[in-house]
Amino acid sequence: SGLSLAIIAGLLIGKPLGIFSFSWLAVKLKASSLPDQANWSHIAGLGLLGGIGFTMSIFIALLSFSDPEFHIQAKFSILLASIASGMLGFIILKFLGKNKKRMIIKS
């Protein structure tokens, strides 16, 4: 339904896009810098992990809808989008780290 698609799009596209965009803007405005050995693909992967907004999303959904049917639909969509976002973020970050040498921290 439209509600499910909106929730999934918000968590799977909106949150990662917002995290990536504002990170990019902060770096371009020199308010921040990318961490050592990180690139924009890493930021995109981390942005996807930001889509795991489970607790607040359910809280807001419960406040937003009075119909119990919408609560069920919203909870299922939030769960589905959070799982998908977490899996995609993990896969991207795992793939990016596959060919890198392990960092050794010298004390």
Q: What pLDDT is recorded for position 23? A: 96
- In this prediction the pTM is 0.82
Which of 35, 31, 11, 3 has the alpha carbon at shortest distance from 88?
11
Q: What pLDDT is recorded for position 107? A: 46
Contact 7, 81 (CB under 8 A): yes
pLDDT tens digits for range 15-32: 999 999 999 999 999 999
pLDDT tens digits for range 31-41: 999 988 889 99
Question: In which residue ranges of the chain is pLDDT below 70?
Answer: 99-107
